[in-house]
Amino acid sequence: MIFKRKKKGADLGALVSELQQAVGARDGARTEQAFIAVMGALEQAADSELTEAGPRLAALLPDFPPVGPRPYLANAAGYCVERGAEPLACAEPILDAVRRDLGDALEFARRWTAAGGAGDELPAPDEEIIDDALLARLGGNGDGERDGDADRDGDGERDGDGQYEALRLALAWCAAESWQPPALAVLLRDREVRRRYAAALLPVCRELADLRRHDLKCLYHALAVLDDEPLIVLHRPTGKGFAVRIGGIGDNFQLHTLLAHVLVGGGHVPGVAPSAESVRLATDPAPAQGLTDTVATGAFELLAPDGERIWNEGLPTDIPLVDGSRLLVLDDPSYARSWNADRFFPALPGTAELTGVLSAEETRAWFARTSAPAGAGT
């Protein structure tokens, strides 16, 4: 949860209206005062107020200056989504802002690297790094001023040189992780949000995460979630094949549990089925409340068609596409393994549905696309 709840306070709707008017008037001092008031009222507002305020707050994001408190505004809108505001109504401005700032963070990294020497590591994402020397390295003129006095045309941007852009890139680098909570708020609560926006944002998130200066694991996992995804599953020891449809699964621990539930619990392959509680934790539509001590036990070895292991710590997107379908091979576990059964995303229930048992001919055809020989059952 982005914020904690407090007692009922000021009229949030009226405060949001004041913020909208201040932003529309491009009045910096008034906007700052109204924004502080809105942030103070959020934790005290009733859910009905938050439901109405969420889309209004999200809609203000494009008009907030990039060197202003945009991540905080996005977090306010995300909190409203957590309390019942419509995710799809808030998603576009939030995720557009996320994409822009992550892109700016990447541009920061490119400029930093281009201006440095060999072995010059990227700095920690901390605003304490921002000084005249850093801004000059990014293409600014060395004037480290960060107030709005140089914004003579009222557009929220500094005028006349590259200083404003350098500051914008530096702040984006420092704030990248701050965009995760509002992004997760909308991505995890609406499959349509993921369908519309995840594909465009995923490459930017992956590229920034690969620099290993920001912890973007949760955002990356959320953007990579598969929904309504067909999966061909081959069980090598028995030589059987299955068509499964999965969705909303945050990692392969959860996938492993659900496949064991469907295939072992359904009596299709031998083994020990997962406990009812571990299945409930993976699939319950209600958001998970806190952590449990429930343990899930591995029933399979998860393998790619070429025989390479697919790790439980990974994602269903790690399963390769073969002839247009994701193809997973299950083998007997090479060693006993177990894990905590809590799902990666408490707000996102997973699904796995057996949609068909493949015929012997279909199964042989799919096994022929793998390096794993089928068992005696074929």
- DSSP letters for 149-169: TT-TTSSSS--SSSHHHHHHH
Structure tokens at 153: 């045309």
Instruction: Note the pLDDT tens digit of each residue in 174-187.
Output: 999 999 999 999 99
pTM of the full structure: 0.89
Structure tokens at 58: 């999200």
Contacts of 207 (CB under 8 A, 6+ apart): 106
Q: SS3 for 57?
A: helix
Nearest to 15, CA basis, from 80, 62, 66: 80
Distance CA(205)–CA(293), nearest Å, equals 32
Residue type at 289 in one-letter notation: Q
Taking CA 172 as the corner, what is the angle to CA 171 and CA 173, rounded to the nearest 5 degrees? 90
Q: What is the pLDDT along the chain (378 residues), one digit of tens a residue?
A: 665 555 555 799 999 999 999 999 999 999 999 999 999 999 999 999 999 999 999 999 999 887 889 999 999 999 999 999 999 999 999 999 999 999 999 999 999 999 986 668 999 999 999 999 999 999 876 544 444 434 433 444 444 458 899 999 999 999 999 999 999 999 999 999 999 999 999 999 999 999 999 999 999 999 999 999 999 999 999 999 999 999 999 999 999 999 999 999 999 999 999 999 999 999 999 988 889 999 999 999 999 999 999 999 999 999 999 999 999 999 999 988 999 999 999 999 999 999 999 999 999 999 999 996 666 444
Nearest to 340, CA basis, from 283, 376, 291, 269: 291
Distance CA(37)–CA(69), nearest Å, equals 14
Distance CA(354)–CA(78), nearest Å, equals 35
